[in-house]
Amino acid sequence: MPGLGTSFGRGGATTAQQDLANADCILIEGSSMAEAHPVGFRWVMKAKERGATIIHVDPRFSRTSALADIWIPIRAGSDIAFLGALVRHIIENELFFREYVVHYTNASCILRDDYGDPEDRADGYFSGWNEDARNYSMQSWQYKGEGLSFPERDLTLQDSQCVFQKLKRHFARYTPEMVEKVCGISPALFYKVADTLVKASGPDKTAAICYAVGWTQHSKGVQIIRTASILQLLLGNIGRPGGGILALRGHASIQGSTDIPTLYDILPGYLPMPRGGEEETLQQYLDAHTPKTGLWSNTPSYFISLLKAYYGKHATAENNFGYNWLPKLTADHSFFEYLYDMADGKMEGMFLIGQNSAVGAPNSRLQRKSMAKLKWFVIRDMVETEPARFWRDSAEIERGELKTEEIETEVFFFPAAGHAEKEGAFTNTQRLLQWREKAVDPPGDCRSDAWFIHQLALRLIGKARAARDPIDEPLRALDWWYPEDRFGEPKMEAVLAEINGWKTPVAAATDRGSIEGVLFGGVDREGNHHHEAQIDGYEELKNDGSTACGCWIYSGVFSRDGVNKANSRKSRDYLGHGWGFSWPSDRRIIYNRASARPGGEPWSERKKLVWWDSGNWTGIDVPDFKKDKPPDYEPQNQERGLDGQRGDAPFILHEDGLGWLYVPKGLQDGPMPTHYEPLESPVHNALYSRDTNPVVNWFTRAENRFAPPGDPRFPFVLTTYRLTEHHTGGGMSRFLSHLSELQPEMFVEVSPELDEPEWQNHPSSRGSVSFWRSGPVTRQCCQ
């Protein structure tokens, strides 16, 4: 998500799948969309029917390539070199969309004098590199002057310290000849892609880019997405119909799982988790995360409303709304880090809910062996997946590395309800919340994950209330108000109501008398007065405790009219307004202010979406802009919030309101993308003296070794891909006879040059895998 988030402001696809049909060109890279997102791919085919050119860049010729107009075989892991060369081509030949770039991106912003690019520095790093700590200090990457809100700009793009000139310099060596050397793509093919993209962009045309885990699962995935973002900003394709970047999420609610995260470093709505030390107090936290301008200037309202949703009446101004109860981060607590704690026996217990880490996570052998070090392990799934039985029939048991009788881990397996047996919303790949109605009760002991958490919460809160230990205060304060059904399952619409947000009883003391817009009677499970009317959107959130909101970006989904908009099912237009709810505020194509010229009129009749009309922004989509801010508005006196942004600044989450070609904050490994080889690349880096991304955490340990770049023992690249008939760890597909008949077993596709006996064993430095070689051999396969 940081790739899109740092470039544009929000970590989500900028467009909707249906809108691909309006594209004049679609570049699919890092994805086999026809195979992995087959029904979404129909919109690519619609575009093709209307005359769009479809380009597929992928090492493997797949169903997607077969349906594309142009297939470009690329060496795995060289995407930044390829996309970077497109950036260079567009800049060097003055092919960029100048008016868009000048007004809507930070091309014109002036950088500090001490900023240094790898091109200009002897060590080949960006300025700020600390060799001992192996990280960057990002101070020198800032704009000149103070902060990001009001940068100095040169609209002619000539100033040698402006972003545009730095970008030009940075990619100067990314030539078509370099692409041939690094990516294995001939200059002729390169120019074909470049010409197609350029011809399909401009006031009257737009091109879209689709990607999936073929990018994100790289160690430098964020920077690949960044390069695509730069390309789209230069071509003027963001916020416009038929344009944008569509991140293709692989699961029903990947997008939802980061919007309302179960991740260590963020809270709902991308609010950062507080850190120990420098963010010990609420004020320190707010100071660190509240910029002067842009939407994030409202961080105090979003954050305090979240604390009110978590701790209800116990969160008061006197106790800083319970800020102390929120745990503070002291390190990287991500999965890959805590896995080592598991391996070392420091982790006592684990919840694995609907995930298959023994198959779907890296180094599955280490995963399974680490599970045997847990005191207790709770797993919830519909079938007995590999993690559920690591203790009795894993490969480690077979090899004698683990012995069942010696494994101390207590294992609890809970059977889970399926999607038709519970209600709730998924957020799909285009930020669309879609509600599922419950059809039938789950069988046997099967229960929803909501039931499980709710029942666990009731037990733990009960224990905390019976105890007096101060460490249990957050449990005692936790606002667990949810009404439930006859099975003891919390009402999911009650949770959605909290996510949307409401006015709290404090605010209503003077404002009583109306029950309009109050959901669930405004009472908790004990019948006590609990909340007031729903809010209509995040604009209503306050920082004084008078509002509560579980996820500010979803606000509006279940507002004062009492309609669960995630469950609305009357689509009124091609963007699907009236069907589901697209965050934020039902905007289907975000940053859509950019679909109009700086003056407010559409770039062209063919590509009109949102425009300025008689004092308001209006159009086909919900404007992603302050409704009455004139296009020629200019802040006069360094105003705060949205008033501090110009009327031609469409990226309202960024302080400066601009699309970031260059990222002055938010990325650890550089403000502009740089081609490094993947961690275990069989070749060295042809572009820089350093092979791999310098800031990458290799997570190296004896049981988790990596082969260094160019290691002669591992000369081949093995990539994986999804088949239409199977899904992730297999728990939802391998057990289904219909799907297993269609795709009965794993296989490998090999270049004819590498053809070996039929059974193949593929070792890496961490383990090996055997396959049956079947299926078509891809003759054009690279490496």
Partner 1 sequence: MFSLISKWPLVRQIREQKDGTGLESMSDKTRAMHARIDDAQVARSICPYCGVGCGQLIYHKDGKLISIEGDPESPISQGNLCPKGAASYQLLTHSRRELKVKYRAPRATQWTEMSLDRAMDMVAERVWESRKRTFITQENGSTINHTTAICHLGGATLDNEENYLIKKLFTGGLGMVCVSNQARI
Nearer to partner 1, 240 or 727 (CB): 727
- Asked if 413 interacts with partner 1 (CB under 8 A), we say yes
- In the region spanning residues 39 to 58, those forming contacts with partner 1, defined by CB under 8 A, are 39-40, 42
Size of the site for partner 1 (CB under 8 A): 161
Q: Which of 116, 176, 424, 694 binds partner 1 (CB under 8 A)?
A: 424
581 token code pair: 């709810």
Give the one residue of 433, 652, 672, 687 binding partner 1; rule: CB under 8 A.
Answer: 433
268 vs 670, beta carbon nearer partner 1: 268
CB-based contact 698:706 (threshold 8 Å): yes
Tokens of 64: 């997607």
Distance separating alpha carbons of residues 431 and 258, to the nearest angstrom: 11
Residue 248 CB, nearest approach to partner 1 (Å): 6
What does the block give as tokens for 573? Answer: 């237009």
The H or E element containing residue 71 is strand 70-72
Answer for which of 175, 257, 604, 778 binds partner 1 (CB under 8 A) is 257
Residues 291-310 that bind partner 1 (CB under 8 A): 309-310
432 makes contact with partner 1 (CB under 8 A): yes
Q: Which of 303, 324, 311, 305 is nearest to 476 (CA)?
A: 311
Q: 267-280 as b/e, with b when 16 or more CB fall inside 10 Å?
A: bbbbbebbbeeebe
Task: Specify the residue, 90 or 557, whose C-beta has the smaller distance to partner 1.
Answer: 557
Q: Which residue has the tokens 């591992």?
A: 714
Selected from 92, 287, 384, 755, the binder of partner 1 by CB under 8 A is 384
Question: Which residues face 427 on adjacent strands?
Answer: 433
**Residues 360-379, interacting with partner 1 (CB under 8 A):** 360-362, 375-376, 378
Buried b (16+ CB within 10 A) or exposed e, 748-781: bbbeeeeeeeeebeeeeebeeeebeeeeeebeeb
Cβ closer to partner 1: 259 or 586? 259
Closer of 93 and 334 to partner 1 (Cβ): 334
Nearest approach, Cβ of 412 to partner 1 (angstroms)?
6
- Compute φ and ψ for 209, nearest 5 degrees: -120, 135
Please identify which residue in 158, 186, 262, 700 interacts with partner 1, judged by CB under 8 A.
Answer: 262
Residues 485-544 that bind partner 1 (CB under 8 A): 490, 492, 495-496, 498-499
Question: In 479-518, where do the E strands start and end?
Answer: 502-503
Q: Answer yes or no whether residue 348 interacts with partner 1 by CB under 8 A.
A: yes
- Write each residue from 705 to 744 as x if it is in contact with partner 1 (CB under 8 A), else as -, in one continuous string: -------------------xxxxx---xx-xxxxx--x--
Stretch that binds partner 1, among 61-69, 200-208, 268-276, 628-636 (CB under 8 A): 268-276
By the rule CB under 8 A, 280 interacts with partner 1? yes
Residues 560-619 that bind partner 1 (CB under 8 A): 567, 569, 571, 574-576, 579
Under rule CB under 8 A, residue 768 binds partner 1: no
3-state secondary structure of 29: strand
Minimum distance of partner 1 from residue 222's CB (angstroms): 12
User: How far apart are alpha carbons 25 and 13 in whole angstroms?
Assistant: 17
Q: In the bound complex, what is the minimum distance in angstroms from residue 498's beta carbon to partner 1?
A: 8
The per-residue b/e assignment along 130-163, b for 16 or more CB within 10 angstroms, e otherwise, is eeeeeebebebbbbeeeebbbbebbeebebebbb
Distance CA 660, CA 658 (A): 6
Residue 716 Cβ vs partner 1, minimum distance, rounded to whole Å:
24
Our finding on whether 683 is near partner 1 (CB under 8 A) is no
Query: Can you tell me which of 161, 324, 604, 760 binds partner 1, judged by CB under 8 A?
Result: 324
Closest distance of CB 660 from partner 1, Å: 22
Contact call for residue 762 and partner 1 (CB under 8 A) = no
| 189 lines the binding site for partner 1 (CB under 8 A) | no
CA distance 412 to 387: 11
Nearer to partner 1, 479 or 624 (CB): 479
418 scored as a contact of partner 1 (CB under 8 A): yes
Are 755 and 728 in contact by the 8 Å Cβ rule? The answer is no
- Distance separating the N- and C-terminal Cα atoms of the chain: 29
Using omega within 30 degrees of 0 as the cis cutoff, is the peptide bond preceding 630 cis? no
